[in-house]
Amino acid sequence: MTSHDLRQQLASLTTEAFRPELADIDRLSTLDIARLMNGEDAGVPAAVAVQLPRIATAIDAVAERMARGGRLIYAGAGTAGRLGVLDASECPPTFNTDPARVVGLIAGGPEAMVTSVEGAEDSAELAHRDLDALKPTPEDTVVGISASGRTPYAIGAVEHARALGALTIGLACNEHSALAAAAEHGIEVVVGPELITGSTRLKAGTAQKLVLNMLSTITMIRLGKTYGNLMVDVRASNDKLRARSRRIVSLATGASDEEIERALTESGGEVKHAILTLLADVDGPTAARLLEESGGHLRAALAHAGR
């Protein structure tokens, strides 16, 4: 593709559109620019709302596969790739998932998290190699993320994953995108032109973050990683999270501090097990058995215990 062709292609994208009414933005006061940005950001949730039925359908498909042992794999370049890596990295401490269950791939590798790796986003072959290193299976889901919807790395990841039988999702911020077309589930959140022309780390980045929040969080809810709105699979890896664990057990059971400490000690710090011992009045081994038989779903384990 020539540089002229690329310029023409970019000019056709909503995310790259120039807004002449903002040509003098640098002459405005800081407060006025902040108000403009805030007003722009306010429209992002509405754009996400339009895609909720597609998002929900995709989540149900992801959760079905993950319940059978599949993985959730994000793939993107630049800001989109960083958002995928961020969402993946937050699943282990929040939901106590194995780090290998939710994975973020970014064009150019870990170095690209903090430094631009020139040309990496233009390589579909690089996406193929990165995916092949993970040995995708039909139980896995690959989510290509690209604001423009035309990034070769994201499209290459989705096309390669689909050829291998994996579930595929394409998340873009332009209509009729090549990425959405390549995926089994296309999600196009059209947030409109950016405040700074082509700076898709702004509204497009915010939209992508909101959708990824939904994909991972609701999938984990479907997998039994919460009890109501409590993070009962939280990993207590520091003082703050240990205090949060105690509070979660308290909110779920209403037990005394002494009972909570005893239950957490008996369960080895596992919040879900501690709650079950208290609510079902069972010992630690019985709680572990009930949870295993219930696929880790606390509500189901309580029902099996007659509670």
Q: Catalytic amino acids? A: 90, 121
Amino acid code (one letter) for 293: E
Q: Which residues on adjacent β-strands are paired with residue 106? A: 76
Under 8 Å between Cβ of 16 and 173? no
Residue 194 CB-density burial (10 A; 0-12 exposed, 13-18 middle, 19+ buried): buried
Listing DSSP states for the chain in one string gives --HHHHHHHHHT-GGG---GGGTTGGGS-HHHHHHHHHHHHHTHHHHHHHTHHHHHHHHHHHHHHHTTT--EEEEESHHHHHHHHHHHHTHHHHH---TTTEEEEETT-GGGGTS--TTGGG-HHHHHHHHHTT---TT-EEEEE-SSS--HHHHHHHHHHHHTT-EEEEEESSTT-HHHHHSSEEEE----S-SSTT-TTTHHHHHHHHHHHHHHHHHHHHTT--BTTB-TT----SHHHHHHHHHHHHHHH---HHHHHHHHHHTTT-HHHHHHHHHHT--HHHHHHHHHHTTT-HHHHHHHTT-
Contact criterion met (CB below 8 Å) for 179 and 152: no
75 - beta bridge partners? 105, 144
Neighbours of 212 (CB within 10 A): 24
